[in-house]
Amino acid sequence: MNIDSYTMFLHAMKSPVTKAKYSRRLEMFFDFLKIPGESIEEQCLTFINNGRNNVNWVFTNILKFVLFHKERIHKKEISGATLINYLKAIKLFCEMSDLSINWKKITRGLSRGKRYANDRIPTLEEVRKIVEYPDRRIKPIVYTMCSSGIRLGAWDYLRWKHIIPIRNDKNEIIAAKIRVYADEEEEYISFISLEAYSHLKEWMNYRKEAGELVTEESWLMRNLWDVTTPTGKGLATIPVKLKPSGIKRLMERALWAQGIRTKLAEGKKRHEFQVDHGYRKFFKTRCELGGMKPINIEKLLSHSTGISDSYYRATEQELLDDYLKAMDSLTIDERNKLKKRIDKLEEKNEDAEYVIKGKLQEKDEQINQLIKKQEK
């Protein structure tokens, strides 16, 4: 069976988001070289046929591409990191197509670029404004991302069964576990706040009441339906999974509609915070403010912790206990935080009342003993 080079290229990546990004970068490379073809598949085939006959042709054209973009870096049109990202896609394609290139010669002298962007995290006030956007899905999406730190691509795998409520000794739900990339090699666990779980549950109940057969296998996010039309296309009973690209578009619409995102000033090329990754950074920052151990935060973000990956083995309960310390910092709606404080005050009052009752009982017993002594 002959498998084309583009299929092999896609096979090397698991995340649909990564596949889309790498495909766009590869297509940009082919367009720069003016490789003929009506589709990216045809361009791949043309490039491979030329390359297998003359590897030096491949090397020369990649170098042309690099030199052109180095000039753009010099003019501050793009960053060094952007060029590195272009090359990652080209290198992967060459490797999956068995084209041996001397990459050290190509990358020598290239600036590695900053490994991070200058963007900031959204403020609590901005997040509160974003979730006011009139779409039922925006609160469960944003609250889940802010309180778990999941990547946008994780939504491609999330089903209702992957959200597992966590109860305390009184059988009250206090948070929920989330299985990220379930049944995939990259699977890991994180947690979501009680606030996020409540809004997800509300969203699933709404779908059920609208006529959808909601089961454990139901996708966590789906398309909306026309509530004014009793029959026809887009029924609640015909759920269609909302892909990560659709979730990103929804969040972008919310940013613009709520006035959080506006047209960039002249000369600016980047908004203050990213529409999706900004929530992941929000999670990390708020967990740190909440007093979580840095290594546990990295675990819940599925980040590598170097040599600690082999030796640090925190239990799920230890991760949860640490997460619960920071949950108040991850809660967006102030009323939910207030409820938590009220619960704590009531608990303290109950404890104080119990102590007072105990002291009074002791005093009553002492008085009774004195009366008995006097009677004797």
Q: What is the spatial distance between Cα 158 and Cα 178, in angstroms, rounded to a whole number? A: 9
Residues 6+ away with beta carbon under 8 Å from 81: 112, 113, 114, 115
Q: What is the spatial distance between Cα 40 and Cα 61, in angstroms, rounded to a whole number? A: 17
242: DSSP letter: -
What are the strands, taking DSSP E only, across the chain? 163-167, 173-180, 188-193
Q: What is the spatial distance between Cα 161 and Cα 220, in angstroms, rounded to a whole number? A: 9
Lay out the sheet containing 173-180: strands in order across.
163-167, 173-180, 188-193
Within its chain, how far is the Cα of 132 from the centroid? 20
Q: What is the spatial distance between Cα 206 and Cα 175, in angstroms, rounded to a whole number? A: 21
Residue type, 278: G
**pLDDT tens sequence for the chain (376 residues):** 457 889 999 999 877 778 888 999 999 999 999 999 889 999 999 999 999 889 999 999 999 999 999 998 888 788 788 889 999 999 999 999 999 889 999 988 776 655 445 578 889 999 999 999 999 999 999 999 999 999 999 999 999 999 999 999 999 999 999 999 998 888 999 999 999 999 999 999 999 999 999 999 999 999 988 766 655 445 888 899 999 999 999 999 999 999 988 887 776 767 777 787 889 999 999 999 999 999 999 999 998 777 666 778 889 999 999 999 999 999 999 887 755 555 655 566 666 566 566 666 776 676 677 666 676 6
Sign (positive/negative) of CA torsion 194, 199, 201, 202?
positive
